[in-house]
Structure 1
Amino acid sequence: MSTSTSTSTATAATAQLIPSLPDDVALNCIARVPRWYHPTLSIVSRPIRSLLSSPLFFTTRSLLNSTQHFLYLTLRSHHNPSAWFTLYQNPNPTPTDLPPLLIPVPPIPAPSLGAAYAVLGSTIYVLGGSVNDVPSSHVWLLDCRFHTWQPGPPMRVAREFAAAGVVDGRVYVIGGCLVDSWARTEHWAEVLDPEKGRWEAVPSSALEVRGKWMHASAMIGGRVYAMADRGGVVFDPKTGVWEGVEKRLDLGWRGRACVVHGILYCYDYLGKIRGFDVKKRAWKELKGVEKGLPKFLCGATMANVGEKLVVLWEGKGNGKEIEIWCAEIEVEEKGDDGELWGNIDWSHKLLSVPKGSSIVNCLAVSL
């Protein structure tokens, strides 16, 4: 055998993902490994390290239903207006395992205040916000597979403190702009079809909340709920119908909320977590978590991570720092009355940050 033939044979052997296995079989094996173990996998070999950051790998995970839900967190401080992190945790933890880890994500190229957020597939959309007190129409996209940022199609009008949601693969943004011109009135609500790559106006009637900023939004039953400081609107993209939020929901919705198993969860004025059943039109306290969680009198941020309620909050620190805490809760309805019960799977301090820092938002992405 010639030297060149021997060298090419050796190169081909070392390029295999798993020796003695065809690469397609090896790919199917590796794609099933939870992401918690990917840092360890990446040091096994160069081919595996390259595979873990390839589009083919993520496509295979999706086809095999091996994707996992990951929490993305944004923090603000005096020194950094937009610090991004993702939460890694062992899907099958043991008492000796490390607690969930916050991994830094590259910062957004142009941070803004009061942006709206939406998740479509493996991409986080950051919509508008103000830069130097001037509302922006810019859109930034975070590809959570590779943690890379790129600009998206700009909105027709500048916005800050808007509401956003995703229905049937289309991104909707509502409000956050003063209707002091025809263009802003016409584009008070917009929709983006990522395949077309442009925003289009969503016809909206003369709504009382048009002149207000939106402080919260949620997707319930395929409809977009957008809440102002008082009052709110509900938009059904399938019918194009706008409605006002019913008073019972409006009075009980405080702060940033999320929907788990069709129930809208947020904290109430007593600092407890409550859930709103849209079908039964009733608020109910989430029981079973009173001893494991503080009263969220200063607020909490919530997300649906794989149909579990994840709650983040700012805890007391040492005077110079505050602590960022997180808890994961299994929620369910029990009994004929549909009482809401929660079981805390885990609760940990994630990190300490300078005093004056705050949680901006948290979102769940499937990878």
Structure 2
Amino acid sequence: MTNNPTAPPSRKKKNKTNPPPSPPSFSSIPDDVIVNILARFSKSHYPSLCLVSKNFYSILSSPDIYFARSLIGNTDARLYVCLWLPDPSSGPHNSWFTLGYPQGQLSLVPVKVLSSSYSPADRLNSTTVAVHSEIYHIGGSKDKRTRAVRVLDCRSHTWRRAPHLKVARKRARSYLLDDKIYVLGGCTETEETIGWGEVFDLKTQTWKPLPKPPSHDDYVNGAVFGGRLYVFTIDNSKKYAYDPKEERWVHEAGFVGLGRINRPWCVRGSVIFAELGGKYMWYDPRYGMWSLIQGLNHVYERRCSNYRTIQLVNHGGKLLIIWDEWHRRQREHKRVWCAVVSFEKPLNSSNMWGMVERCNVVLGSVHKSYKLSSCLSVLV
């Protein structure tokens, strides 16, 4: 009898299952694709997106994101403010801010502008003009004339040098029209006959002289309307328009009822906004009269009796009203306010209705001797 060993029970082999594939992550996506995606977001979301990863922060801080935004036409109006601030320890200096909306409130957010050999000196009230995503800082101020031109790139917050003016200037005025910068005044009396104004062609990067209008008056105000540059005397009694196509000044008989403007003002399309008699008014050359902007009671209620309007800005079609007032607790300091106003103006109507979207303090405390050096709406 043969002893057959008992065969061990057979074990069923378990089929090994592969773990499910991990979902794709942004780290596996090429940077150029991420740039294209992030460029389609509003810039207001960038502070939150920077917290996602170091790669996001690096991309959103690079010039590539702004170049991509400009290619697809996704640019936002961003207000840049430069304040001249006193400093007992290091002396007065310029500080840059942007108008932000943290937690739904308007606020002036400090901007770190990188210093370099191209950085302009801290000159107060050198003329500045916004050109797309850049700010041109032209000439000198106070007692110093200069031919220097510096450009702040608001995408990378870096300075670069631009071709010098032909004539040294201080406290000039500058305007943008058809991709050309017009700089008026600010030179000596002996230079006015040949160098009263200059025109900078952004395409060729060259300056050429602009003659003074055919009169001996002093032109203190200017504005761009309908493809022309207009200049006005102090009482607006004389007006000339420069036609860039014909390259000549022509006497302007329009703007009836404009009168003298000695308070902050700005232009939106074919309308002038200004503060007159403590109220915010608008002027359209078609009607030839100043009219009250309706719907701003909330702004008037927030202003104190010691307020001072320091700037009106056309910000992407909306009106920004910026004013300051004495601080209630700090006697040597002031507070800065800002109101954002959008408009509803029916066709063929002589009424202008404003809607106050936001109105609050944007700078809680600043020394009373501060100065507003620049305040411009830039596309970034």
The residue identity in structure 2 corresponding to 1:357 is: Y
**How far, CA to CA, are the matches of 1:139 and 1:17 in structure 2?**
46
Asked if the contact 2:340/2:358 (under 8 Å) is kept, the reply is yes
**How far, CA to CA, are the matches of 1:265 and 1:204 in structure 2?**
26
* Counterpart residue number, 2:319: 309
Which of the residues 24, 42, 61 maps onto 1:34?
42
Q: Does 1:219 align with 2:230?
A: no
Which of the residues 44, 48, 53 maps onto 2:61?
53
* Counterpart residue number, 2:6: none
* Counterpart residue number, 2:16: none
Q: Does 1:143 align with 2:146?
A: no
Determine helix, strand or coil for the equivalent of 1:299.
Answer: strand
Determine helix, strand or coil for the equivalent of 2:36.
Answer: helix
Between structure 1 and structure 2, the one with the greater Rg is 2
**How far, CA to CA, are the matches of 1:89 and 1:36 in structure 2?**
8
The residue identity in structure 2 corresponding to 1:128 is: G
Asked if the contact 2:126/2:373 (under 8 Å) is kept, the reply is no
* Inter-CA distance 36–337: structure 2 relative to 1 (3 Å threshold): closer
**How far, CA to CA, are the matches of 2:202 and 2:26 in structure 1?**
37
1:319 CA displacement: 1.2
* Counterpart residue number, 1:354: 367
1:340 CA displacement: 1.3
**How far, CA to CA, are the matches of 2:264 and 2:163 in structure 1?**
26
* Inter-CA distance 69–247: structure 2 relative to 1 (3 Å threshold): closer
Q: Deviations over 1:224-246 (max 9, x none)?
A: 23445344543232332324565
Asked if the contact 1:161/1:213 (under 8 Å) is kept, the reply is no
**How far, CA to CA, are the matches of 1:250 and 1:360 in structure 2?**
27
Q: Deviations over 1:246-305 (max 9, x none)?
A: 57465242333222242111111x121111113333322211103423389733301111
Which of the residues 63, 72, 86 maps onto 1:64?
72
Determine helix, strand or coil for the equivalent of 2:264.
Answer: coil
* Counterpart residue number, 1:290: 297
Which of the residues 273, 281, 285 maps onto 1:265?
273
Alignment of 1:5-154 (within 5 A): 18-19=26-27, 21=29, 23-79=31-87, 80-89=92-101, 97-106=104-113, 109-130=120-141, 133-154=143-164
1:343 CA displacement: 0.8
TM-score between the two structures when normalised by the length of structure 1: 0.83
The residue identity in structure 2 corresponding to 1:75 is: L
TM-score between the two structures when normalised by the length of structure 2: 0.80
Asked if the contact 1:41/1:49 (under 8 Å) is kept, the reply is yes
1:82 CA displacement: 2.7
* Counterpart residue number, 1:198: 206
1:174 CA displacement: 1.2
Asked if the contact 1:267/1:300 (under 8 Å) is kept, the reply is no
Asked if the contact 2:187/2:195 (under 8 Å) is kept, the reply is no
1:172 CA displacement: 0.9
**How far, CA to CA, are the matches of 2:222 and 2:323 in structure 1?**
19
1:154 CA displacement: 1.4
Asked if the contact 2:185/2:196 (under 8 Å) is kept, the reply is yes
* Counterpart residue number, 1:5: none
**How far, CA to CA, are the matches of 1:151 and 1:17 in structure 2?**
41
Determine helix, strand or coil for the equivalent of 1:185.
Answer: helix
1:341 CA displacement: 1.4
Q: Deviations over 1:176-234 (max 9, x none)?
A: 223314xx42121111113322211123443333xx473x4432222223445344543
Alignment of 1:231-242 (within 5 A): 231=236, 233-242=240-249
Identical aligned residues as a percent: 29
Count of residues in Structure 1 that have an aligned counterpart in Structure 2: 340
Determine helix, strand or coil for the equivalent of 1:67.
Answer: coil
Which of the residues 168, 173, 187 maps onto 1:158?
168
* Counterpart residue number, 1:278: 285
* Counterpart residue number, 1:8: none
Q: Which runs of 5+ in 2 are unaligned?
A: 1-23
Determine helix, strand or coil for the equivalent of 2:51.
Answer: coil
**Please, which moves more after superposition, 186-195 or 251-260?**
251-260
**How far, CA to CA, are the matches of 1:340 and 1:122 in structure 2?**
30
RMSD across aligned C-alpha pairs, in angstroms? Answer: 2.7
**How far, CA to CA, are the matches of 1:254 and 1:280 in structure 2?**
21
* Inter-CA distance 299–112: structure 2 relative to 1 (3 Å threshold): same
1:34 CA displacement: 2.1
**How far, CA to CA, are the matches of 1:222 and 1:296 in structure 2?**
39
Asked if the contact 2:108/2:362 (under 8 Å) is kept, the reply is yes
The residue identity in structure 1 corresponding to 2:331 is: G
**How far, CA to CA, are the matches of 1:329 and 1:141 in structure 2?**
30
Determine helix, strand or coil for the equivalent of 1:279.
Answer: coil
**Please, which moves more after superposition, 59-68 or 232-241?**
232-241
1:362 CA displacement: 1.0
Asked if the contact 1:17/1:23 (under 8 Å) is kept, the reply is no
The residue identity in structure 2 corresponding to 1:366 is: L
